[in-house]
Amino acid sequence: MFSFMLSILVLTLMFSLIGGAAFLLRGTLLRGREGVMYPFWIILLIITVFPLRIDLAELTEPFVYSEHSDEAIYADEQYHGYAIGESNADNRMSSDREAPIKSENPIVMKLRRIIAASVEYVDEVSAVLFVLWLAGALFNFIGVIVEYIRTLTLMKHNSSACADERIGRMLYKLRRRMNIRRTIRLRIFDLDSLSSPCVGGIIRPTLYIESECLTMSDRELECVLTHELTHIRRFDMLARLFCFFAASVHWFNPTAYRVRRAVLEDCELSCDYSVVKEYGSSVSSLYMGTILNFAERYSDGCRLICREGYGGGLFVSPPSGVSFLRRRYANMKNFKKDRPTLILVIAFTIVAALVNTVVLSSCSGITTQALASAMELTPPVDIMVRAYYDLDTDDYITTEMVDGITTVKVEAKTLSDGQIAATFTVNGDDSFTSPLPMFIQHDYAEGVILPAVKEYSERTNDGKIYERFMAFLCLNDLNAPELTERARREMLLTHPKLEEYGCLYVLDPHATERERSVLISYLDAAEVLDPWVLTSTEFDASSFGYFENLTEIEFVGLTPAGYDFPDDVKVTITETDNKA
């Protein structure tokens, strides 16, 4: 729901920006030639109702690393700047891959916290907005359909089949000339001043004329019929209906109604071009005189039906008054096969479509998960919180979680291969937050550690690696159906932490230092240790800026950098040489 409403908001924003730019272009460079904008408006409506997205990640994906490359380009996924997949200690510790620790902006961190905290209200707000949007869209579009049906009904009931042979022959000749194969019914209004010539119907179009057309000259009548047949040939009634649909989708956006008006106006101007193109510029005065005659007859408001855009192809529709009549005449006089103008409109349309696609594609990554993950924790701190709260890699860290941590101890451990790993004690508990903890929570073990070790075992074609690793882990589950009540009590006496967690993988407490080193080497090769491994003894403490309830933090063998702890947080720095 959130993603859908975000798309609607982004689309309506782009609708306003692109529409505003189009109106600026229309009123300056294309002034007097506005009719060429008609195809652009249709494309604009299409891309703002049926958006196009592309996967920007695939387009920006780096080259795959090759040993034959001139330089090492890492294509593996990176975890907040720490490359995954490197097991060589020299590579990890090389200075050319170390990035300087930068201090985070406190204001930015505060905003990220607010975004992450607001995620619990996002779904509710999105649902309310969706209901409001849907209600408005349905109300508007249903109103359009009702008015459209009412107009067609009035036109049909107040007209009769036209039996005039001259008009029939002329209509047949023009249809063949314009290559229109659809059957077109011809009707004449029974009442004077009911409506000017127009087209009704989408599937079975009907051309309506009035009694005044019977007294027109052949050239005037040809201009009238060519205008209306152009609407039929281009399916303008369908385009108009889609225009009203798009305006209903963006009913809360004032730009949508301006665009709708521009579509109706430029549609008429475009049809005028067809008439001038067919009969030459010399027909402009005669054609405009015919339009003025209709306008004069309907200027006193005696039109009863065919409101704006519903009847299709009216000479004086949309009713923009004298200013629109002047623009129509100016467009006729300025009509010519202007290649630069056409190129300008095409280029503008392509740019608008690309910008809309790129912006929408960029925003498509903004999901509820992304909002919840707005707090960017560095790898060691991120893995610390996940291990402490038993989170999988797909779970997100909430503000409540970081606020539940009040004391932290960060200690450097030198591994057997010389690498430095971070171990943590969170709220006085050091059982979970280390590269090889005594207790591994069930979801974290089966979601992260065990699959990685198993995949590494399969990759090396050495199935014993996974077996050896599992030999040092014992699953303790208080809810196992085969356990007796006595066995549960004994399990709790041996591992009291089970009372809180219910299910744990327990590391063999009798494992020797050598065996622990072997297990750590497996984790390292399986790329599980990467977030724990540090590039130096300088620890990036910037993530602790999100921990608002932190009261005490201790660094053992490490020097904090990237964050100035507030005065109410007790910071202790101790030097030591510990080995895992």
Q: What are the pLDDT digits (tens) for 547-566?
A: 989 999 999 989 898 888 88
Give me the mean pLDDT over the 474-487 stretch: 87
pLDDT exceeds cutoff 50 at 274 = yes
Count of CA atoms in the C-beta half-sphere (13 A) of 499: 7
Give the largest CA-CA distance in the chain.
Answer: 110
Structure tokens at 52: 């196009």
CA atoms within 13 A on the CB side of 473: 22
* Mean pLDDT value across residues 287-291: 84
Domain boundaries, the chain: 2-53+122-363, 377-574
Kindly report the number of other CB atoms within 10 A of residue 131's CB atom. 10
Please give the Cα distance from 118 to 372 (Å, whole number): 8
pLDDT for res 24: 94
| Contact status, residue 199 vs residue 180, Cβ threshold 8 Å | no
- Pair 563, 418: CB distance under 8 Å: no
Chain position carrying tokens 């960029």 = 362
More confident residue, 316 or 380: 380
Task: Pull the structure tokens for residue 320.
Answer: 């923009």
Q: What is the mean pLDDT of residues 267-289?
A: 87
Q: How many helices (H) and strands (E) does the chain have?
A: 22, 16
Helix axis angle, 321-334 to 284-298, nearest 10°: 170
CA distance 239 to 493: 76
- Range with the lowest mean pLDDT among 93-102, 224-233, 400-409? 93-102
CA 444 from centroid of its chain's CA atoms = 31
Determine how many CB atoms are found less than 10 A away from the CB of residue 461: 7
**Sign of the dihedral through C-alpha 161, 165, 171, 175:** positive
Task: List CB contacts of 370: < 8 A, sequence separation 6 or more.
Answer: none
- Paired tokens of 329: 């005449």
Q: What is the pLDDT of residues 534-543, one digit of tens each?
A: 888 889 888 8
Q: What is the mean pLDDT of the chain?
A: 81
Q: Which H or E element spans position 185?
A: strand 185-189
431 or 381, greater pLDDT: 381
Residue with tokens 């096969």: 337
With beta carbons less than 8 A apart as the criterion, state whether 432 and 441 touch.
Answer: yes
**Region 114-136: what's the mean pLDDT?**
86
Tell me the HSE value of 537 on the side-chain side, using a 13 A CA sphere. Answer: 15
pLDDT at 249 (0 to 100):
93
Contacts of 296 (CB under 8 A, 6+ apart): none
The per-residue pLDDT for 52 is: 78
> What average pLDDT does range 274-291 have in this prediction?
85
Question: Which residues in 407-549 belong to E strands, given as ranges?
Answer: 407-414, 420-426, 439-441, 473-477, 503-507, 533-534, 538-540
**331-366 in b/e burial notation, b at 16+ Cβ within 10 A?**
bbebbeeeeeeeebbeebbeebbeebbebbbebbee
Residue 192: per-residue pLDDT? 61
- Provide the 10 A C-beta neighbour count for residue 108: 11
Question: Residue 193: its pLDDT value, please?
Answer: 52
Q: Residues of 57-96 as b/e, b for ≥16 C-beta within 10 angstroms?
A: eeeeeeeeeeeeeeeeeeeeeebeebbeebbebeebbeee
Does this model's pTM top 0.75? My answer is no
* Percent of the chain with pLDDT strictly greater than 90: 25
**Which residues does 433 contact at the CB level (< 8 Å), separation at least 6?**
384, 387, 388, 423, 424, 425, 426
Tell which phi-psi region holds residue 513, choosing left (phi > 0), alpha (psi between -120 and 50) or beta: alpha
Q: Which residue has the tokens 């921990």?
A: 547
Strands, DSSP E only, in 78-142?
A: 78-79, 82-83
Structure-model confidence comparison of residues 578 and 318, the more confident one: 578
Helix or strand run (H / E) with residue 571: strand 570-574
pLDDT computed for residue 252 by the predictor: 92
Q: Which two tokens stand for residue 280?
A: 């030459």
Query: Residue 246 has what pLDDT?
Result: 93
Tell me the two tokens of residue 295: 């306008």
Return the pLDDT at 321.
63
Whether the pLDDT of residue 297 is over 90: the answer is no
